[in-house]
Structure 1
Amino acid sequence: MRINALRDAVGEWDAGYVGDDIELTSKYLEILNRLEFLGKHEWCNYLPAESADFEIGFLDRLASWIGNVDSADDQKLLLEYAQRLCFFSHQDFISLYRSAYEGPITRWVITQAGLRFSDPQFSSKLEREMKRHTWYCPITDSMDINEFYHANHISGVEHRPSFSTLAMLDPINKDSDSPLLNKLLAFLKKPDRGQRRERPLKRLVLLEDFVGSGTQMKSAIKWAAERLDLQILVVPLIICGPGMTVLHELTKQYPTVLSSSPVVQIGPDNLLGENGQLENTWEHRHEMEDLAKRLEISHSVKEPLGYKETGCSVVTYSNAPNNSLSLIHRKVLKNKWLPLFPRASRA
């Protein structure tokens, strides 16, 4: 389907409405106009779609995506579902970086360092603790840690490793006296290269851009909690309900060293499937779940509601998480399904 065909279909759907509610006579046109606005001003900068394999224009992808299904009812459903997607732009992430740093991280450092607001040197001490003695690292490589440092004007710590990689290279069940761990512990004591005076790192902040089921972050956080003698704060910028459950379990398992403070939580009211069955009140949620499951049969999609059946509807400017519904991002079997936000997969 092309965009002109979609516009014609939208006109027919609105013209076919029979009833007294005047607002419903232009329901689908208003949705399309809203999506067109978002496509031009917010959703246009989606990195994976800039590949030559896909149509860069959002409206073109929207029309092709809706054209994947044949029945008018399914097409209407996809159009309505598209406006429920939660898209985080690059500018949104800059705001999330600053919100994390100026909010939960700052409060945690104040508590950890025992700072008092009545101290005349409070501001200078806080800045020193935040920028000289606190280490900010990503949980996985999907978190752009360099942008976090730049957005918050942090400098002085040269290395910012992915802790999922550290956990892979130095498994917990091995001898704790490993070369990797020894070098890491030495770095924590003196992270400033070329400085005569030692400025040890006293605490660790682990950041992640998006957490869905919590599977990826679990081993990295456990590794840090068991291998390092540091207080740790875990800060997911965006986290779904299942991931929040895993994070709570981890903080209970390591209560003396581990704290957590997500910035944005995607609750059950915004999830499909079992994770949202009690609180998601969208009138078409069951129809959407049914459509996803029908596509599972026809297109061999093993997890139609996303990885671990998370059921979220999130897209970020850099990628579509695999915890979101497969029909949003998955390209299957020789273009038989054209995605709205094609995902750049690791596999």
Structure 2
Amino acid sequence: MEIHDRLYELGRQVGREVFDDSGRLGPTLDEAARQGEVSHADADLLLKVVRTGAYRSMLDSIAAGTDPADAARAAGDRFGTGDPGAVARAQWALAVLGYAMGQLSESDVARFRSRAQAATPPARPPSQQPYQAAGAPGTQPSWSPGQPAGHSGSTGSSGPHGSSGARSRTGLFVGIGAAAVAVVLAVVLAIVLTNNGGDDEPKADPTTTSQPPTTDPTTEETTETTTAPPTDRISDEAANGYTDALNQFSVSFGKASDKQSRASTNDNFPQALEASAEMRKSVYDFDLAVRDLDLDPIYPEVNHFLTVSAEMIDGLDESYQTAKSAFDLNVDFIALPTTEYTDAFTAIATAIANNRQ
């Protein structure tokens, strides 16, 4: 059971006022931490937003008519005092409590959790210096709240990567280039599939009715048509939004993969790290964009994509924390589930097209 579900059940059993009392809430969070449902740090954070009044501020805003997600965001902004990581984690904690109160949805919790993960920098081994991505001073790839930080490892041949000096690099450099090109080509196919959905002319709706002209000579002939709106149909806005997200992902991922290929050829590890982070950001931004679209009619395909997307993000995060050379980053990239990833976002495009025909 995830922490937001546990807290929702707690409120249902003992009353929602329990969330105003950190003394009563604490034992439940301690038990959740022991069960592995939440890290000790996140349990402490949930208590902290209650003790500092951020939770009560969120509820007051909701009571005044503010959208619940906006209220969680605003209360987290004040709690975090300007630090992006602290703000995002506070917003996630408030979303969890808002869900427990029945005010926010599970998708809200997932969205805030993803943003908290993205705003939390990973630890780099002491022997490797952190970098700053171009255009984003101080930013680094993310890791999940409670996830173990990067380990230093040894500089010898042991560990996940070991020494790369004696290995042939040419095949791997070609491999990463081919894999990246395959991802970009899959994006092009997905865009074509998405745009092929829908009809130029609306189909006749079975609920459409026509009334014949009246036989009353005192009235004019009339024809009345009523059409019930489709229910499980993806909107043009959602379909176009998916196309836009694919386009943005294609551009950013393509640029980052080109940079990593050049860095690998030149054995430029700092630049390869930077490129890896940019690739990770493009995958994460695409993930967020899909979450924000109304694609409920094809939720099985969307859920599968988000699962594979999380594997991609986790793999890129782990590689950033443990790699010791540009060669290591290439090895890790080729091990990512890129085929499953491209299949998953192509399946969404196909499902959108089929849904709109």
Structures share fold, TM-score greater than 0.5: no
Q: Which has the higher helix share?
A: 2
TM-score (norm 2): 0.22
Larger radius of gyration: 2
TM-score by length of 1: 0.23
